[in-house]
């Protein structure tokens, strides 16, 4: 190749915080930059382009990014040719404020402007100056224009950026219209839009061709997914699951995050009847108090949530694994209200829960109208208390897996520190290493095996459990034929 036609190579460093949406966005930005000759590096010093994919859901997530940017102040002074970019939800929320706090940032791109990033970088490099591309605010124009400004360019995929080569996220829904009073997401990700089912299907086929066995459909309220075609045909999540179920090579289909009010019978029976669809449902409850749920404007009551749990139990029975999110210390939360949450966790017996301390987000209804009046140490105590209850329940419920055999999709070497006898590599004498994977119901399983098991779905017999992990041994064909196995996972 002559010097004139050679693609200029650049070194890209990318740091991603936040939810699965952000992981997917980073995957696509890397894919588009790779096409332009970029190579990934995990060294900030080596990189000539640094991107921060950011989250605004809690203040702590933003502080983390601002500290990371702060640490680059000197590097940028010494090497002004390094391009620094901020993308994602904080880019959309803070916009020019980022330049105020970190004046050496070169580009800012919202979650709907991913496809503009290569051009923004090129412009900053050739012309200098600061460049911004963000979506429209929720009141800044016609709905169609606002929606367009938050769209993404999903078909561009890069297998190397995935959780593993055989697992991928697939966006089916953009944005959110629920406007829970504490939440910034409707502002950062724009209006709710269901992606065209044919586009989703085509993308799933590409993923399957690339060797992907498990896809996780993404949406803020994924089970509210709805797409109305030009001819009036309406597609809901259940229809989409049926369509995706036919794709050869895809073994498991998961979807997050669910909204309690939209967990319909129709959807649940579809999940029950399609064997590739995981009976794992992440349905955040947020609080067990009706008064708090009302202040949060979640749009359901405790009674509604109980009815949903009954529907799930009726349709999926023991196979179902339900997980939740909680916010403790939301505006005005009394001890009694918190206790109602503890009681409901005891009652619902979630597989696991993510518990967060309320963090006031400027621009939300709660921030405008409700005082953030629960002291930090009270939030912390409630967080620990609820977590202890949840962990006890998780451990108790995992007992049912003892002496059972579960089907595990093997993801790779275990990251458990206590499992890394050989720095995570194979034992030189036995060739075995600590591997990890998940059951169909999303439970983490750790066991010993050879590297060639990675990417396969295999039976593992469980002999030990903790709140977070099932520990087992791979069942060989010989052992399977000798034992009566309950395929529970
Ligand atoms: N769309 C998803 C959740 C998106 S944010 C849903 O509706 O369930 C992920 C979780 O972060 C939420 O479920 C909530 O528990 C938590 N969260 C959102 N805003 C928060 C805030 N201001 N402070 C603390 N936690 C928050
Ligand atoms: Fe936020 Fe509520 Fe939308 Fe979830 S449903 S993203 S918590 S506004
Ligand atoms: Fe954070 Fe945006 Fe996801 S605010 S949680 S990265 S949608």
168 shares a domain with 141: no
Neighbour-count burial of 482, counting CB atoms closer than 10 A to its CB (0-12 exposed, 13-18 middle, 19+ buried): exposed
Asked whether residue 3 is domain-assigned, the answer is no
Domain total for the chain? 4
pLDDT digit string, tens, across residues 137-161: 999 999 889 988 888 777 778 888 8
Say whether pTM exceeds 0.85.
Answer: yes
CATH value at residue 216: 3.30.750.210
Last residue of a domain, one of 278, 305, 323: 278
A 10 A CB-CB count for 285 gives 24
- Regarding the beta carbon of 51 and ligand 3, being less than 6 Å apart is answered no
Task: Dump the DSSP string for 360-403.
Answer: --TTSHHHHHS---S-HHHHHHHHHHHHHHHHHHHHHHHGGGTT
131 shares a domain with 37: yes
Asked whether residue 157 is domain-assigned, the answer is no
- Which own/partner pairs from 119-124 qualify as long-range (CB within 8 Å, at least 24 positions apart)? 120/85, 121/33, 121/49, 121/83, 121/85, 124/83
Question: Which bound ligand lies closest to the C-alpha atom of 55?
Answer: 3
The residue-averaged pLDDT of 18-34 equals 94
- Regarding the beta carbon of 185 and ligand 3, being less than 6 Å apart is answered yes
- Regarding the beta carbon of 84 and ligand 3, being less than 6 Å apart is answered no
CATH value at residue 137: 3.40.50.12160
172 shares a domain with 140: no
pLDDT digit string, tens, across residues 374-411: 999 999 999 999 999 999 999 999 999 999 999 999 99
A 10 A CB-CB count for 11 gives 16
- Regarding the beta carbon of 284 and ligand 1, being less than 6 Å apart is answered yes
Last residue of a domain, one of 110, 145, 180: 145
Last residue of a domain, one of 328, 363, 397: 397
287 shares a domain with 392: yes
406 shares a domain with 473: yes
| Top-ranked range on mean pLDDT: pick from 364-368, 423-427, 485-489 | 364-368
What residues make up the domain containing 260?
162-278
204 shares a domain with 166: yes
Per-residue pLDDT at 7: 60
pLDDT digit string, tens, across residues 424-472: 677 777 888 999 999 999 999 999 999 999 999 999 999 999 999 999 9
Q: Which of 152, 188, 356, 364 to mutate to test the pocket of ligand 3 (most atoms within 8 A of CB)?
A: 188
Best CA proximity match to 442, nearest among 411, 418, 416: 411
- Regarding the beta carbon of 325 and ligand 1, being less than 6 Å apart is answered yes
């Amino acid at each position: 190749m002559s010097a004139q036609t050679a693609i200029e190579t650049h070194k890209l460093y990318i740091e991603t915080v936040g939810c699965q949406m952000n992981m997917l966005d980073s995957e696509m930005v890397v894919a588009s930059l790779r096409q332009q000759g970029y190579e990934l590096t995990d060294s900030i010093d080596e990189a000539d382009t640094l991107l921060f994919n950011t989250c605004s859901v809690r203040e702590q997530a933003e502080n983390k990014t601002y500290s990371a940017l702060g640490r680059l102040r000197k590097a940028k002074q010494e090497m002004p040719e390094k391009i620094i970019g901020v993308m994602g939800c904080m880019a959309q929320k803070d916009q020019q404020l980022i330049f105020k706090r970190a004046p050496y940032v070169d580009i800012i791109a919202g979650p709907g402007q991913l496809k503009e990033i290569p051009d923004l970088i090129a412009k900053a490099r050739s012309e200098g100056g600061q460049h911004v591309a963000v979506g429209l605010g929720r009141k800044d124009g016609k709905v169609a224009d606002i929606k367009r400004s938050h769209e993404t360019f999903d078909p561009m995929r890069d297998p190397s950026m995935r959780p593993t080569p055989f697992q991928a996220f697939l966006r089916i829904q953009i944005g959110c219209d629920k406007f829970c009073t504490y939440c910034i997401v409707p502002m950062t990700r724009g209006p709710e839009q269901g992606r065209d089912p044919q586009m989703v299907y085509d993308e799933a086929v590409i993923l399957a061709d690339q060797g992907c066995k498990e896809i996780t459909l993404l949406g803020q309220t994924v089970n509210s997914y709805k797409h109305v075609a030009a001819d009036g045909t309406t597609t809901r999540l259940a229809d989409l699951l049926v369509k995706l179920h036919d794709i050869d090579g895809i073994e498991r289909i998961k979807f997050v995050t669910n909204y309690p009010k939209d967990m319909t019978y129709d959807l649940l029976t579809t999940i029950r009847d399609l064997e590739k669809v995981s009976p794992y449902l992440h349905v955040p409850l947020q609080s067990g108090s009706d008064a708090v749920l009302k202040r949060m404007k979640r749009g359901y009551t405790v009674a509604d949530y109980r009815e949903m749990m009954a529907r799930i139990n009726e349709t999926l029975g023991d196979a179902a694994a339900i997980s939740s999110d909680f916010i403790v210390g939301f505006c005005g939360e009394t001890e009694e209200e918190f206790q109602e949450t503890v009681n409901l966790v005891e009652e619902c017996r979630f597989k696991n829960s993510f518990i967060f301390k309320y963090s006031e987000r400027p621009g939300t209804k709660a921030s405008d109208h409700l005082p953030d009046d629960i002291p930090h140490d009270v939030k912390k105590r409630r967080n620990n208390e609820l977590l202890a209850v949840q962990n006890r329940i998780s451990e108790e419920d995992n007992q049912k897996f003892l002496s059972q055999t579960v089907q595990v999709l093997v993801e790779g070497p275990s990251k458990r520190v206590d499992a890394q006898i050989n720095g995570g590599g194979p034992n030189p004498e036995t060739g075995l290493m600590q591997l990890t994977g998940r059951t169909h119901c999303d439970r983490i399983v750790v066991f010993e095996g050879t590297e060639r098991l990675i990417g396969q779905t295999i039976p593992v017999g469980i002999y030990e459990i903790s709140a977070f992990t099932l520990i087992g041994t791979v069942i060989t064909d010989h052992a399977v034929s000798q034992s009566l196995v309950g395929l529970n996972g």
